[in-house]
Amino acid sequence: MSILFKKLFLNRTVSILILSLLFSCKFSKKPKGENTIPIPKKSNILWLVTEDMGQYLPSFGDNTVLTPNLSRLANEGIRYPNVFSPSGVCAPSRAAIATGMYPSSIGANHMRTTSYTEVTGLPKYEAVPPPEVKMFSELLRKQGYYCTNNAKNDYQFKAPVTGWDQNGKKAHWKNRAQGQPFFSIFNFNVTHESGLFEPYERAIAIPEDIEFRIPPYLPDTKTVRRDLWKMYNNIALMDQQIGKVLKELEDDGLLENTIVFFYSDHGGPLPRQKRLVYDSGLKVPMIIRFPNKIYAGTQDDQLISFVDFAPTVLALSGQVPPDYLQGQAFIGEKQIKRDYIHAASDRFDGFTDAIRAVRDSRFKYIRNYRTEQGYYLPVTYRERIPTMKELIKLRGEGSLNEVQSQWFREKKSKEELFDCLNDPHEINNLANQAEYQNKLIELRNEMDRWLTEINDQPNLPERDLINKLWENKVEKPKTTTPVVSITEGEITIECGTKGASIGYRIVNENASPSAPYKVYTVPFKIEKGNHLEIIAHRIGFEASNPIKYISKF
């Protein structure tokens, strides 16, 4: 380390103590009995979404690195420490967020359904939710919101043209009409698993000799320590990126009429974290800052699942969430607190497993459907992480201790039960201990209830799943071409595919070639000579052939 760099961090301990007082608030519990937060109607909503990150933040008890921007957000907002993804990997998790549906209920739980076909021998397919299911951003657009996504799109299905006003790296709330409320997502991938690969050539934001705790399931070696340092360095870089977006919001004078969410798409990036149903793979940090710092510096301990995000945002926008949603609003007048969260694990890239999990505020129950198969899956992408290479090497040498060897067991227990309060790393299986049988039965029954309710069939062969989604057709179903009719100058658009969303845009000499498609809801009129472009699309189906219409009225 250079002399200059050492001087910069010489008084780091003192700096942490001082900045902790400024940024890392002492959180108080949200007042009991107050489930309703007074939100101004049509508040803007901003999502700041990082990737592959557990609760490695000062606001959640880990003071390894300073995150001044996120600590400020927490100091001015509400901290949610019990938020869980339904999957330990991104695309199924994003499907749950976009639709408010459990991934394993709509065919979205196998990672990358449109790739790895050369390995699986299966056709490319997409998740197919029930026909009434829409991306919740489309429902916001119907309410007049300008919706942008910058820039992740892997929902396990292709977003219909009705999903976003703007979708891509240039998507921004700044492009909306003046005064229009917005819902905007910004994704930060600097914390992604791939950020641990070598060569590591990113800016250095923290000292190289920083101290941190190593999880008991990882060995304390030079290689593992370097990967943990990279992980924390990436978090510091992510905080800087978050700060830039927050500054833009503040500079635009929008901070005090915008609800700001921060969360991660699932748990951490390290081996035995990502892709697993342990808390290390599912549990995420979440902070919400409301206008005028409502409930600033408080903590809400309720259990929250990603399927709850859609109904919550819809409630915040003033809508009544649709009945089909499998989640529930965790903010608002009709808030109902959860007793359990649920998760599922199936195929990851070229390797398939079948695991389901249910957790209450303390205990987690895991059911393994492929007990003859080991816990560890040799996912090629993960094996690019130096720590994963180290684990494989040490396993071959017989140098891993009992805890570090658990992941490499060649067979799985049918049932597992963990006390997540006293055993946060989920090492000690309590399923066979007599004093925990009542809890085991309770969570076993809850899992059975949930699987029946969402029509999940664990361990269903993926080929059979595709047949089910496609209703035994040979090819992916396609949305039928929309039909235009005119009555007294009013244009009506219909589509024969049940549940299809219809998007249209007016094309004339003044229109931008990248103008967003509007969501068709009711008949409308256009000026004579204007052109219409129309596309219909049901989620999981191929989009319809586009049609063009020239107004003659």
**Angle 222-251/386-397 helices, nearest 10 degrees?**
160
pLDDT bin (cut points 50, 70, 90) of residue 40 is low
Across the chain, which distance is largest between two alpha carbons, in Å? 81
Domain limits of the chain? 3-101+113-190+235-336, 355-465, 483-550
Q: Say how many C-beta atoms besides its own lie within 10 A of residue 159's C-beta.
A: 17
In the prediction, which pLDDT does 12 show? 42
Taken in order 62, 63, 64, 67, is the CA torsion positive or negative?
Answer: positive
pLDDT of residue 395 exceeding 70: yes
pLDDT bin (cut points 50, 70, 90) of residue 336 is confident
More confident: 511 or 251: 251
Helices (H), 209-264: 222-251
Domain 483-550 is of which CATH architecture? Answer: Sandwich (2.60)
73: enclosing H helix or E strand: helix 68-75
Q: Is the pTM here over 0.85, yes or no?
A: yes
Q: Of the ranges 4-8, 120-124, 172-176, 457-461, which one carries the lowest mean pLDDT score?
A: 4-8
In the prediction, which pLDDT does 19 show? 38
Q: What percent of the chain has pLDDT over 90?
A: 85
Active site residues: 90
Taken in order 240, 185, 170, 175, is the CA torsion positive or negative?
Answer: negative
Q: Which residues contact 552 (CB under 8 A, 6 or more apart)?
A: 528
Cα(202)–Cα(446) distance, rounded to whole angstroms?
Answer: 45
For residue 219, the SS3 value is coil
In the prediction, which pLDDT does 2 show? 40
In the prediction, which pLDDT does 193 show? 98
Whether the CB-CB separation of 390 and 196 falls below 8 Å is answered with no
> Token pair of 517, please?
């498609």
In the prediction, which pLDDT does 27 show? 56
Give the mean model confidence (pLDDT) for residues 504-524: 85
Cα(101)–Cα(98) distance, rounded to whole angstroms?
Answer: 8
pLDDT of residue 509 exceeding 70: no
For the chain, the average pLDDT equals: 92
201 φ/ψ angles, rounded to the nearest 5 degrees: -125, 40
- Topology at the third CATH level for domain 3-101+113-190+235-336: Alkaline Phosphatase, subunit A (3.40.720)
The number of angstroms, rounded, from the C-alpha of 519 to the middle of its chain's C-alpha atoms is: 25
Write the DSSP assignment of 304-357 as a string of letters: EEGGGHHHHHHHHTTPPPPTT-SS--SSSTT----S-EEEEE--BTTB---EEE
Cα(199)–Cα(215) distance, rounded to whole angstroms?
Answer: 24
Residue with tokens 């989604």: 469
> Token pair of 128, please?
């197919």
**Angle 90-99/309-316 helices, nearest 10 degrees?**
40
pLDDT bin (cut points 50, 70, 90) of residue 28 is low
In the prediction, which pLDDT does 369 show? 98
pLDDT of residue 33 exceeding 90: no
pLDDT per residue over 67-78, tens digit each? 999 999 999 999
More confident: 97 or 513: 97
Q: Say how many C-beta atoms besides its own lie within 10 A of residue 458's C-beta.
A: 18
